[in-house]
Amino acid sequence: MNALVEDLSGSKPLNLLKGLDYSILQQCMHCGMCLPTCPTYDVTKLERHSPRGRIALMKAVAEDKMETTKALGEEMYYCLGCLACETACPAGVNYEHLFETARAEVERAKVLNKPFRQTMRWLFLKMLFSHPRFLRMLGRFLWMSQASGLQRLARASGVMSLLPRYWRDLEKQAPTVCRYFSHELIQPLESPAKPRFQAGMLTGCVQDILFSDINRDTVEVLLANGCEVHTPSLQYCCGSLHAHNGDLEAAREMARRNIDSFDLDQMDVIITNAGGCGSHLKHYDRLLEHDPVYAARAVLWSQKLKDIHEWLDEIGLRPPVPPLGSEAEQTVVTYHHSCHLCHGQKVSRQPQDILRSVPGIKLVELKEADWCCGSAGIYNITQPEMAAQLQNRKMENVAATKVTLVATANPGCHLQLVNGALQKGMNVEVRHPVSLLAQGYRNEVRGNK
Amino acid sequence: VKQEQLCQLRELLGSKNVLSELIDLIPYGFDGTAALSRTADVVVLPDTSEQVQALVRWASQEKIPLVTRGSGTGLSGGSVPVEGGIVLCLTKLNRILNVDAENLTLLTEPGVITQSILEAAEKHGLFYPPDPSSMKISTIGGNVANNSGGLRGLKYGVTRDYVMGMEVVLPSGEIVWLGGKCVKDVAGYSLKDLFVGSEGTLGVITKVLLKLVPKPASRRTLLALYDRLEDAAATVSAIVAAKVVPCTLEFLDSFTLRCVEDYAHVGLPTDVAALLLMETDGHPAVTAEEAEAMEAIARKCGAREVRVARDEQEAKEIARARRSAFSALARIKPTTILEDVTVPRNQLAPMVRAIEAIAKHYKLQIAIFGHMGDGNLHPTFLTDERDHEEMARVEKAMEAIFVETIALGGTITGEHGVGLAKKPYLQQQFKDGSYELLKTVKRALDPQGLLNPGKIFDL
């Protein structure tokens, strides 16, 4: 609707790719350095499934050489959005911006619209991920069914076999919900003995109900490093899900609400612990650049937004003191990069440094550690086949390290690895680096006592 | 290409190997060259060399142009289907067939990625030296067809020096084998050499036999900074005169250096006129001696500062300035045009000076870096292809650079090939009957002119 109004007023062309600043498209010099890093090109070896191929298609649409067709829509949703191409690109192409715009154009042109798809989009984007209370309600319901044994009963009874295969496969991947959500574990204000910094804490949406323990661990790690932590009890989705699925308007609304949740001037930093969210949260400045009310604060927001590992590294992490008599115990851990943490935010060294700082942890290298695991937001739901291939490849690399503990810093990757281990019958636990660090601090206290 | 012909192609190669929808074709309309593109009628990706042969034979009957390509990373527009027709993409012929550690050879299909060739050789303690900057994705077939260079040219030569033999599908569809595993071989014309650097205009290479060498046991890396460009050039001449053959002698001019520092924060002073990155490899005793000699020569020639890497880690750090040069430049403007003029080594300083003067005269940003040991420079135009007025000045400046290069006894292309981009200037370099000789060869092998038409020269 908005796009239509803009078009009638003559200020902006209807086609979003045509409306895009052309120099962003032109920045791609099609050298091909992105090709070997692109998971979909790697599997298919077809140029249209590569970053430079997709950019060429976007450019063709912008130049009127091609229409926004259904095939184009499918291509844009076949892309994982892992941004490995951004790391490989010598010319600094902003692929994320291009890919978000292309998907928004696909939605505007309605080339993929089907009643079922639109219902699902409404349910996920407009309901669950726009209203945190709905999400928490669903979380409660899931927790109750899991805790009461209802889920096990349903699975055992064979009721699930009545579902179509796609839903059955999806149901098997249903994550385990935490008993307590973030606001039940974290006080709105928590202070260390001597506060050095004021930190705003983002608890996320999925993270809030599935990994509230990681949020709690993040707060403890911040406290242990002299940060006073401000955590609003009801928080909104960061909007990355909306932005990456062609709903930029909803993404902007989420951004405004999040900005309103914090007294930005009082904060030294706003902390996120989820790689995928962080990559999007840091771009609120670009998302809201034309917003007359929010543009300036969005710039401030983007300046202050930091990934937890990045922040700890910046202020100088206090390494946990090894408890007495614990030298012999060593846990071997490997680290899987969240794409949007290492490619989107270029944070790759810091989480590994943090892991190395934890007493009793030995970090070993994971082959293809920065290769996408196939989770990619909701890609594993929309493109199950490709997602499964990537998951398989990831789990084989994990198996080759022979570790029983993988660290990763993004809820999507976390779930994908847990499910991958489950499917392959691998004895592998998945933890957030910050949880392992928090454990290190807790052992410290226990050791001293 | 007519509908009926499409059906025949599908029958010949299998439906999955024939692309004809616009969305599939557009991404095959260009390579790594700025501002050159044209959408092909069909793209085909055969699985076997037999399919290639069948395709070439069919195309010859139907009189349809064939443009062979690999990963499409070329920098002269060589794989742009400028006259339409069929793009023949060889990326599926991607098997390394054999590594012969006794004869130090490697037999491969053309679609194998260059990096994989190097890795396969290294598994046997061997080495494949040519290292074009795109080697992580470029195909060996493309390297052979363009006789690609790289950073190790001074000591190790270029792709041609490693091609011992090949299987070629001739324009008629006939398959021939050229060359072989013999170190010495003077039986007849060296026909394989005709196809190295032929840019897909004479035949389709379906197998390549490569020469490997023992992997050097050690490497030493140095970096020198100069207040005067001439001192850097003098260092290169003095090193060569001292009978030291480094594997790499790379150069950055002051503009490139400033861009690198802005982008990669390597910690280099930004007021120097030139940077040289020097590397020697081989037996540890030799590299130690050569590194020492090069350090002394650089200092004697007036280097402001010389840094010597103590270990592999430090070597990587030192080499980072050179490695990030292109990335640092490519992000400044929307369009980056990378040239590759090459002059005899003793003409380097005058050539760099001439490029600087040309940039000034035409009010353009031209950064210069390159393989100084080979006399191979990369004047890099930072511009915007939508700015027609500036692009017109770029054209003029480029021509001026080519004229100067030829005057200094150089060549308009050292390692990228002529393709489309340098076609208009080739005749200026080939002043005598040699230009006509090129066409004679082409007509003899491809009388119908169907293989990569419109490239290198017009018939």
Phi, psi of B347 (to 5 degrees): -105, 10
Average pLDDT over residues A414-436: 95
Note the pLDDT tens digit of each residue in B302-337: 999 999 988 888 888 888 888 888 888 988 998 999
Phi and psi angles of residue B232, each rounded to the nearest 5 degrees, phi first: -65, -45
Q: What is the pLDDT of residue A448?
A: 52
pLDDT score of A156 more than 80: no
Averaged pLDDT score across all residues of chain B = 94
Rg of chain B (C-alpha set): 23
Q: Average pLDDT of B183-208? A: 97
Give the best residue of B15, B19, B22 to mutate against chain A (max A CB count within 10 A): B22
Name chain B contacts of A75, Cβ cutoff 8 Å: 23
- Residues of A within 8 A of B30 (CB-CB) are 30, 56
Q: What is the mean pLDDT of residues A318-325?
A: 86
Q: Per-residue pLDDT tens for B351-396?
A: 999 999 999 999 999 999 999 989 999 999 999 988 999 999 999 9
- Report pLDDT for A285: 97
ipTM above 0.90, yes or no: yes
**Closest CB to B73 among A32, A60, A66:** A32
User: How far is Cα B326 from Cα B338, in angstroms, rounded to an integer?
Assistant: 9
Q: Which long-range contacts (CB under 8 A, 24 or more apart) does B421-427 make?
A: B421/B33, B421/B36, B421/B75, B421/B76, B421/B77, B422/B76, B423/B455, B423/B456, B423/B457, B423/B458, B425/B399, B426/B456, B426/B457, B427/B457
Distance from CA of B30 to the nearest CA of A (A): 8
Tell me if chain B has a CB within 8 Å of the CB of A163.
Answer: no
Instruction: Please tell me the predicted confidence (pLDDT) of residue B276.
Output: 94
Query: How does residue A8 score in pLDDT terms, banded at 50, 70 and 90?
Result: very low
Task: List CB contacts (< 8 A) between B113 and chain A.
Answer: 36
Asked if B32 and A48 come within 8 Å (Cβ–Cβ), the reply is no
User: According to the model, what pLDDT value does residue A6 have?
Assistant: 42
Alpha-carbon span B109 to B118, nearest angstrom: 14
- Average pLDDT for A378-388: 89
In contact, B108 and B162? CB cutoff 8 Å: no
Q: How many CB atoms lie within 10 A of CB B327?
A: 17
Name chain A contacts of B386, Cβ cutoff 8 Å: 22, 26
Rounded mean pLDDT, A36-43: 96
Q: Which of A55-64, A130-139, A429-438 has the lowest mean pLDDT?
A: A130-139
In this model, does residue A1 exceed pLDDT 50?
no
How confident is the model at residue B175, as a pLDDT? 96
How many residue pairs bridge chain A and chain B with CB atoms within 8 Å of each other? 84
Cβ contact A132:A234 at 8 Å: yes
**Chain B contacts in chain A segment 55-84 (CB below 8 A):** 56-57, 60, 65-66, 69, 71-72, 75
The minimum CA-CA distance between A28 and chain B, rounded to whole Å, is 8
Whether pLDDT at A155 is above 80: no
Q: Which of A26, A35, A47 sits opposite B28 (nearest CB)?
A: A47
**Interface with chain A: mutation pick from B15, B18, B22, B23, highest number of A CBs within 10 Å:** B23
Residue numbers in B near A64 (CB within 8 A): none
Which residues in chain A are contacts of B385 at CB distance < 8 A?
Answer: 26
Rounded to the nearest integer, the mean pLDDT of chain A is: 90
Lowest-confidence region among A112-121, B62-71, B127-136: A112-121
**pLDDT surpassing 80 at residue B22:** yes
What is the pLDDT averaged over residues A419-436? 95
Reported confidence tier of residue A9, pLDDT bands at 50, 70, 90: very low
**pTM, 2 dp:** 0.92
Residue B289 has pLDDT above 80, yes or no: yes
pLDDT higher than threshold 50 for residue A4 = no
Are A90 and B331 within 8 A, CB to CB? yes
More confident residue, B436 or A134: B436
Question: pLDDT tens digits, residue range A165-202?
Answer: 766 776 777 778 888 898 899 999 999 999 999 999 99
Which of B17, B19, B24 to mutate to test binding with chain A, by most A CBs within 10 Å of its CB?
B24
Contact (CB, 8 A) for B336 and B34 = yes
What's at B238, amino acid-wise? A
